[in-house]
Structures are given as C-alpha cells and as structure tokens.
Structure 1
Amino acid sequence: MKGKNVLDVGCGTGRYLEVVLKAEPEALVGIDLSEAVYVAAENLLPNNNRLMLLQCDANHLPLPDQVFDFVYSIGVIHHTPDPYKTWKNLVRLVKPGGRFAIWVYGKGRGNRLPSWIPRPIYLYKFLANRIIPSGTMLKIVLSYVPWAIKLNRLPLIGLVTRQLFPVIDYKGRFSLTDEMLIEWACLDTFDCFTPKYARTYSVDEIIGWYKNNGFVDIKVGKHLVSVSGRKL
C-alpha cells in the first residue's frame, strides 16, 4: 500500500488504520458511522498528516468516484441493511486497476454442535438489542471476557463454556500480545452481540458480487469469508 490512496470503510477506533499507516500510503481515509471515529482521531491524527477521518454512512460517502487504489472493509458490510447495495456503493470509489477487499460473516461459522442444541448467544443477542442498553452491555462484556476466554481455551470444559460464555478469540490466528488479544476479544464480542443486522454469506455468493461487477484477479483469503478483486 506504500504510496497508494487507501480507504478503510468502518474504521472504528482505528485498529486497521494503525496497521496500514505503517505501510506508508500516500493518503489514508477512514470512515465510520459511530462515534468510535473520534477515538481513532484522538489516537492517530496528531502524528499522521496523511490520515483523514470522517463520520458518515457508507452508503452516502462525500467522496468522488475512482479516487482510491485500495478500498477495504473488515467486518462491517454484513451489519448494513442491504450489504450488497453497500458493497456496490463502494465500488465507485475504486480506481480502474485498484483493489477492493472485504471480510464478512461466513455461513455456519463456528457451529460445531448440532443445530437442534439451543445456543445462549441468541438469547444474549436478543437482550442486547431489545432490553439491555448498549453501554451496560459493553460493561458486561468487558467484565466477563478476560476470565471467560481462559475457560474457553481449556480442553473438554471449554466445549461447554464456549457456548455459555461466547468470546471472539484470535489466539493462534494473529500475532498479538495477550493484552491485545483481550482488547480485540472485548471489541469483537460486543460487536457480535449488539448489531441490528448481521447477515452471513458463502464464499461463492461474495465471489459472485465481484464477477457480476467486472472484477478480475479475485482472491479468497484464509479467514472466511474474505474476498478481494481488481477493478477493470
């Protein structure tokens, strides 16, 4: 990404912005609908004159067409009312020859138990969206994740506790410190419980989006469902 114009759609507090900045892009724009963008601004703007942050809707971006060499959206599009519409609205921002990469929830991810066995996570999602205020839910997640993540890693008992105390755990998947593993686990577990929309997709469905809109050199990442393509 060095010397490129890059767009992060759904940057949140800046987790991936920080990574991309190390690659020395020409310009990096981060957008997010939530107030998390202000946290990113506080943490990253003072020392990065190549970074610009916007609080706005991914479907109504105040940006001109075909200005970015690389556009990516990690774990965001599936939380919009119409993910395919959102994806198409972002296509216009990619330069001819530029790449567009997304990661969305995969169908059947993490379902190791038979489908007829009740999963407490569905109750938690109902409570988070209908009864418990988001601020309170965040406090609950922050309090239980540090000890639940340890239980969930244990053999045998972990099979049970992972259902009772679901946690997004990246141990062994990314090179993170223990502190960062807990931080990412808290953020993404909260994200798992609280969204109003959470669509799931197969790899073939997402590849179809790219093929039907003139993308080539389509690649599938190892963390499903992650797909990227080059715009003609």
Structure 2
Amino acid sequence: MVSIINPFTQKLLVQSGDTLKDEDGNVFKITNGVSRFVEEHNYTDNFGFQWNKFQKTQIDRERKNATFSKERFFAATNWDKEDLSGKDILEAGSGAGRFTQIVLDHTKGNLYSIDYSDAVSANYRNNSHHGDRLKLFQASIYDMPFPDNSFDKVFCFGVLQHTPDFKKSVQCLVNKAKPGAEIVVDFYPIKGWYTKISAKYMLRPFTKKMTHEKLLGKIERNTNRLIKTYRFFDKLKLGIIAHRFIPMCDINRTIPANLSKEELREWVVLDTFDMFSPAYDNPQRIKTVKKWMEESGSEVRFSGFVKYSNNLRMAIVRGIKKT
C-alpha cells in the first residue's frame, strides 16, 4: 500500500471524515469521493468541463463489444501478459477514466490515479464500484500526494503535451516509480517541420481563449458539415487536406472504426473540443522524450511508434527506473 502525504510538506496524511489531515493541522477535502490537492480552478478547467460532459464516450464498457481503449492501453504498455496482481500502479492524468477502467477490469492491480482537473469526478462515477482498488486524487503532476519510489508501474497517456513543462513532468513520473519499476508515456509527436502547419495550430491561439460553452457550441453547430467535407476529400484521396486544414479531429487517425452515425458525431465533437481548448499543446520529438527519460534516471527499453486498432499509431517511450 502506498502512503498518502501532503505533497507540499511530505508529511503523512490521515483520513478524518471527509478530510485528510497531517500532524501540522493542514487539511485537504475529500469531495465527491476524491481527495483534492489543488485550487478549484486552474489551467485544466477545459478538461474538467469536457470529461464531465462526455463522461462515458470513451469508456469501452459503455459500447457493446468495444475494445478501443483496451487495445490502445495494452499496445502502449505491453503489459497484457504480465501478472499485475497486488502491484501498485500510478496513472497520471486519468480524464474520465477510460484507462482506469481497463486497469481495474482487466488486471488485479491497485490503481492510484490523479488528474489536475475535475475530470476525476467523472472518473469516480465511472469506476468507483471497484472499491479500494481505486484511489482517486485531484492533484498536479508536479505535486503528487505520494512519496518518491512508491510504484511498481507508472503510466501517463494523453497528458504530457498539455502540461506547462514537459521535461519536468517526465522527471516527476520517474521520481514516483520504485527502482526497477517501469514508466510508460505517450504524447503528441513532432514528425517534421510541417507538424504545426495545420488548422489546429493556426486556430488554437484564438480558440483556447474562448469560453468552453462558446467553443463547444461552435463545434456542435458545424460538426455535420465538417464531417461531410472530411469524407469528400478522403474519397478523393486527398486525406492530407482533410487532416491538416479542416478544423476538426482526424477521423481516420484518432477515432475507432465501426461507430454508428450518432457515436461518430459524439467522438468528433469531443476530440475536436480536445484539440482546440487546452491551454498548452506542446508536441515533442520521440528522441527528445527518450533523452529526458534517460536524464531522469531511467533506462529506455523502447521509443518509437506503436500500432493499435486498425493501424492507428501512437508515440511511446518506455523506461525502467535505474536502481
């Protein structure tokens, strides 16, 4: 079992009713089943907004025979043949809990999951039925409420590019792993000089300043038209235009196949909002993240692209913390 500490003083915390207290009298609230270590509003408010609104969209359990998140998780970690019974696992940046669900449903590990946003409330609603195997915290990746050298496994998916300091975030993840433990991260990759020549990066300086409600409204009003335009260019074998210059997510590269028309629309709205709303979006070269993992005290065992589900792919670095 991992100790829970005051991330700012390193003092042990003990639960007292709906609070956590340390010996100095510092108190942290437990609200909606989640221990809270951050201010109510912060730069990740967009994620709290989107995941509480789209709470079930990416959860495999909510769609019959859905395996998209499961395939992505086990392809990224390569843990599908490991016995994780009794292992303490850290998830940094859980969102609504799509990968929380996979860990808890498909392994016997104990999961400690954090998110800086109020997405943890959606995660709690989705996964709290697992009881004591899930421990949820609203906390910063830079101030996690756990001692260093605590976890047998650490993973962080879809998060690092949205943090203020990508390199520091990697270091913080490695710090929490036990010597000999594995750390797995994915992230938006820089593939070349052309990566940021796209509607996404041209429009983000404006869209990230919009209210969440206004941005979501604009996306919802235009989604049907944008999907039709995307399909038009795709049929003409001009996918590069659809991918780069239509202001919506790339259907062929980010969304599961075989969705109904209604499900596809919901995923497009969600992923497009996810593109345009974050305060930070800092893709990195794979070799750079590999270097940072090594500088943080890990031996990198893999760095590169991993394929999953209908030849989609993601940038992955896996490391083992040095002893």
Structure 2: distance between partners of 1:48 and 1:170: 37
Q: Which residue of 2 aligns with 1:140?
A: 218
Structure 2: distance between partners of 1:122 and 1:213: 30
Report SS of the residue matched to 1:225.
Answer: strand
1:108-187 counterparts in 2 under 5 A? 108=191, 111=194, 119-130=198-209, 132-145=210-223, 148-149=226-227, 151-153=229-231, 154-156=234-236, 158-162=239-243, 163-169=245-251, 177-178=258-259, 183-187=266-270
Q: 1:149 to 1:209 in 2, by over 3 A?
A: same
Structure 2: distance between partners of 1:98 and 1:55: 24
Q: 1:35 to 1:142 in 2, by over 3 A?
A: farther
Q: Which residue of 2 aligns with 1:216?
A: 299
Structure 1: distance between partners of 2:224 and 2:301: 38
Q: Which residue of 1 aligns with 2:189?
A: 106
State the identity %. Answer: 27
Q: Which residue of 2 aligns with 1:73?
A: 156
**Larger deviation: 120-129 or 153-162?**
153-162
Report SS of the residue matched to 1:218.
Answer: strand
Q: Normalized against structure 1, the TM-score is what? A: 0.83
Q: CA deviation at 1:151?
A: 4.0
Q: Normalized against structure 2, the TM-score is what? A: 0.62
Structure 2: distance between partners of 1:48 and 1:146: 40
Structure 2: distance between partners of 1:159 and 1:217: 33
Question: What CA deviation, in whole Å up to 9, does each residue of 1:42-76 have, x standing for no partner?
Answer: 11102443111111111111112222111111121
| 1:196 counterpart (260, 269, 279) | 279
**Larger deviation: 156-165 or 58-67?**
156-165
Q: CA deviation at 1:209?
A: 1.4
Query: How many residues in Structure 1 have an aligned counterpart in Structure 2?
Result: 226
Q: CA deviation at 1:170?
A: 5.3
Structure 2: distance between partners of 1:110 and 1:167: 20
Q: CA deviation at 1:126?
A: 2.4
Report SS of the residue matched to 2:181.
Answer: strand
2:112 is the alignment partner of 1:32: no
Q: CA deviation at 1:178?
A: 0.9
Gap regions ≥5 residues in structure 2: 1-78, 307-312
1:47-62 counterparts in 2 under 5 A? 47-62=130-145
Gap regions ≥5 residues in structure 1: none
Structure 2: distance between partners of 1:230 and 1:112: 30
Contact 2:174 2:298 in 1 (8 A): no
**Larger deviation: 104-113 or 134-143?**
104-113
Contact 2:297 2:321 in 1 (8 A): yes
Q: 1:111 to 1:123 in 2, by over 3 A?
A: closer
Contact 1:12 1:40 in 2 (8 A): yes
Q: Which residue of 1 aligns with 2:96?
A: 13
Contact 2:248 2:268 in 1 (8 A): no
Q: Which amino acid aligns with 1:24?
A: T
Structure 2: distance between partners of 1:16 and 1:146: 29
Structure 2: distance between partners of 1:199 and 1:97: 29
Q: 1:64 to 1:182 in 2, by over 3 A?
A: farther
Contact 2:103 2:109 in 1 (8 A): no
